[in-house]
């Protein structure tokens, strides 16, 4: 966890090609891992079953991670513009973790917009729009110190304590991000628009990184425990959703996932069994 670190005042020197490739690959995989989720939403033209609260928490958490890393890397930025003309390109290895965080935020943020776009009902759209503007406000305010830190008159030391607070808040959000999604999958009795592939691959990659931190770099507990909880929550979502999807198919359900079908009066099968009991609060999620 970046919040456990101090300001980074020197660039990474002589990074092995294998580690550089790993860093670049992680940036690409963060983006490519979201493709199955986009495909499922756009193919079904529905985002029902995705928790808007989980999506919103994810956006704020990812933004806080970017803010935290930006401040901690602020002192490295001027070093990219000193020395010979190739200094800028050589220093990029020092920012791969930051680039990965930015890519993750950029790849996942549009899910909330799709949730709004494919939602029906005036009250629900207003609720989602309010959540969107709340996210924009929080993220914009939180980003100001990071922008100042990387400006010509800013330094990491000036905002280091702020970065640590933001990093701590990111940890808290990570630990509770998927709780609303677990509830929605339980209430809807199925996966809905949730992509098993996106969550599964993300969890597997996350566990690999946790093991790397524990056994390879021997990092402190605070640097890997939040991510262990986060990725375990992803598996919990998969387990709950798969249980209901599997049992429904076992009862004879065939064809298209019925949690994605709109409700038609007089057609009980058009909804998954949990939709009627979920209530308005579930719709807001």
Residue 68 has pLDDT above 70, yes or no: yes
DSSP state letter for 213: I
CB-based burial label for 6 (10 Å; 0-12, 13-18, 19+) = exposed
Higher-confidence residue of 104 and 275: namely 104
Looking at residue 147, its pLDDT comes to 95
Q: How many CB atoms lie within 10 A of CB 68?
A: 28
SS3 per-residue string spanning 100-155:
HHHHHHHHHCHHHHHHHHCCCCHHHHHHHHHHHHHHHHHHHHHHHHHHHHCCCCCC
Q: Are the beta carbons of 227 and 83 closer than 8 angstroms?
A: no
Query: Angle 205-208-209 (CA atoms, 0-180°, nearest 5)?
Result: 90
b/e sequence 102-138, b meaning 16+ C-beta within 10 Å: bbbbebbbebbebbbebbeeeebeebbeebbeebeee
Q: What percent of the chain is predicted at pLDDT more than 70?
A: 82
* pLDDT exceeds 50 at position 181: yes
| pLDDT confidence band for 105 (50 / 70 / 90) | very high
Question: d(Cα 281, Cα 278) in Å, to the nearest integer?
Answer: 7
In this prediction, residues 265-271 reach a mean pLDDT of 39
Backbone angles phi, psi at 264, to 5 degrees: -120, 130
Q: How many CB atoms lie within 10 A of CB 76?
A: 20
pLDDT at 270 over 60: no
* Spatial CB neighbours of 113, under 8 Å, sequence gap ≥ 6: 132
- Alpha-carbon gap, residue 49 to 194, rounded angstroms: 7
pLDDT in tens, 19-54: 778 778 878 888 899 999 999 999 999 999 999 999
Q: Return the DSSP state at 262.
A: P
Residue 272 has pLDDT above 60, yes or no: no
- The whole-number pLDDT of residue 278 equals 41
Q: Is 150 exposed, middle or buried (0-12, 13-18, 19+ CB in 10 A)?
A: middle
State pTM to two decimals: 0.81
Q: Which of 56, 40, 35 is nearest to 194 (CA)?
A: 40
pLDDT digits (tens, 9 = 90+) for 183-236: 999 999 999 999 999 999 999 888 887 887 677 555 667 668 888 999 999 999
264: which strand partners?
Answer: 267
């Amino acid at each position: 966890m970046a919040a456990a670190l101090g300001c980074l005042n020197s660039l990474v020197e002589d990074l092995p090609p294998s580690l550089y490739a790993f860093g670049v690959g992680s940036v690409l995989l963060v983006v490519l891992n979201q493709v199955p989720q986009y495909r499922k939403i756009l193919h079904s033209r529905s985002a029902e079953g995705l928790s808007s609260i989980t999506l919103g928490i994810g956006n704020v958490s990812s933004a806080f991670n970017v803010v935290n890393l930006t401040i901690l890397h602020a002192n490295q930025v001027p070093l990219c513009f000193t020395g010979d003309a190739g200094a800028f390109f050589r220093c990029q290895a020092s920012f791969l973790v930051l680039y990965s965080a930015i890519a993750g935020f950029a790849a996942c943020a549009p899910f909330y917009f799709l949730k709004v776009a494919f939602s029906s009902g005036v009250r629900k759209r207003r609720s989602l729009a309010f959540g969107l503007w709340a996210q924009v406000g929080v993220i914009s305010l939180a980003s100001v110190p990071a922008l100042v830190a990387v400006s010509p008159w800013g330094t990491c030391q000036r905002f280091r304590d702020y970065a640590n607070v933001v990093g701590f808040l990111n940890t808290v959000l990570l630990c509770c991000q998927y709780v609303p999604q677990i509830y929605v999958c339980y209430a809807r009795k199925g996966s809905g628009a949730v992509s098993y592939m996106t969550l599964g691959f993300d969890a597997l990659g996350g566990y690999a990184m946790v093991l790397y931190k524990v056994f390879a770099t021997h990092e402190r507990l605070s640097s890997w425990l939040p991510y262990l909880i986060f990725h375990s929550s992803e598996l919990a979502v998969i387990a709950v959703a798969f249980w209901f999807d599997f049992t429904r198919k076992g009862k004879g359900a065939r064809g298209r996932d019925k949690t994605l079908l709109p409700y038609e009066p007089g057609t009980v099968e058009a909804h998954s069994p949990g939709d009627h009991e979920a209530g308005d609060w579930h719709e807001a999620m």
